[in-house]
């Protein structure tokens, strides 16, 4: 679970849904001290949750992005595994392995762009030294295989970047709705914490507590899915 308790944009809707359950139950009591909490205010909050939820459902980005990230990292790990075998061949052939080491480090850091850039030079090098490497156990045609793996990694990385850009564009195109929803969330949360300070209900209005619940649930789902 992330240690950050800052509300992420993709957490606005689920946080608002959780908060609305408590707010709908307690609105009349809260309105006794905060007169703006009318029935119309509650309806406006509810309608905005539905509006933003529909925007996000039209994109279905969160799950797509997770799947694309998993696919990218799996491809990265597969290349790293192949390069571990190549490292063994390099040592036996007494070849310079600096570039090979750099590629593996970039992959480990998940710097896909940097890894692909350096991989081009590595492929050229092993192509030039293929005879001695093959004499030490490298499969014939490995440079071509690594080239194909590099192309697939670049394709997956490009797809993930496109999803991230689309997600960012969704927020940018609907920034007013997101800002308004965030306003509802913080107003209701702050009022609830004041009214119910020291009671069992206080945590229900704490954004940090709500975030904690959401991320714990997400973490548990990810563990079960693997």
First to last CA, the chain: 16
For residues 69 and 90, membership in a common domain is answered with yes
3-state secondary structure 76-144: HHHHHHHHHHHHHHHHHHCCCCHHHHHHHHHHHCCCHHHHHHHHHHHHHHHHHCHHHHHHCCCCCCHHH
pLDDT(133) > 90: yes
pTM across the whole model: 0.55
* Token digits of residue 182: 């965030």
Number of structural domains the chain divides into: 2
Residue 2: pLDDT above 80?
A: no
Picking from 200, 214, 206, the residue whose alpha carbon sits closest to that of residue 1 is 214
Same-domain check for residues 82 and 33: no
Choosing from 140, 163, 186, the residue where a domain stops is 163
Which pLDDT band, with edges at 50, 70 and 90, does 48 fall under? very high
Phi and psi, residue 2, nearest 5° = -65, 145
Boundary-marking domain end, from 163, 192, 207: 163
- Give a yes or no: residue 143 inside a domain: yes
Residue 83, in any domain of the structure: yes
Average pLDDT over residues 212-222: 73
For residues 130 and 90, membership in a common domain is answered with: yes
* pLDDT tens-digit readout, 165-183: 877 777 788 889 999 999 9
8 A C-beta contact, residue 18 and residue 213: yes
Residue in this structure with the two tokens 């092993």, named with its chain if needed:
126
In this predicted structure, the answer to whether residue 219 has a pLDDT above a threshold of 80 is no
CA distance 11 to 181: 11
- Asked, for residue 32, whether it belongs to a domain, the answer is yes
Do 138 and 103 belong together in one domain? yes
């Amino acid at each position: 679970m992330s240690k950050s308790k800052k509300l992420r944009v993709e957490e606005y809707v689920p946080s608002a849904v959780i908060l609305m359950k408590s707010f709908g139950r307690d609105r009349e009591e809260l309105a006794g001290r905060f007169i703006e909490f009318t029935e119309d205010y509650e309806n406006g909050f509810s309608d905005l949750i539905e509006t933003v939820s529909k925007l996000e459902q039209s994109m279905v980005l969160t799950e797509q992005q997770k799947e694309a990230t998993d696919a990218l990292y799996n491809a990265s790990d597969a290349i790293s595994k192949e390069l571990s075998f190549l490292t063994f061949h390099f040592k036996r052939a007494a070849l310079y392995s600096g570039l090979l080491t750099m590629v593996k480090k970039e992959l480990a850091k998940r710097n896909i762009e940097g890894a692909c850039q350096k991989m081009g030079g590595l492929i050229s090098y092993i192509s030039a030294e293929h005879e001695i490497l093959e004499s030490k156990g490298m499969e014939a045609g490995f440079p071509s295989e690594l080239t194909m793996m590099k192309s697939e990694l670049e394709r997956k990385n490009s797809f993930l970047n496109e999803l991230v850009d689309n997600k960012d564009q969704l927020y940018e195109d609907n920034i007013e709705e997101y800002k308004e929803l965030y306003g509802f969330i913080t107003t209701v949360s702050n009022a609830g914490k004041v009214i119910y300070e020291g009671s069992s209900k206080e945590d229900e209005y704490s954004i940090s507590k709500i975030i904690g619940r959401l991320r714990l649930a997400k973490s548990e789902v990810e563990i079960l899915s693997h």
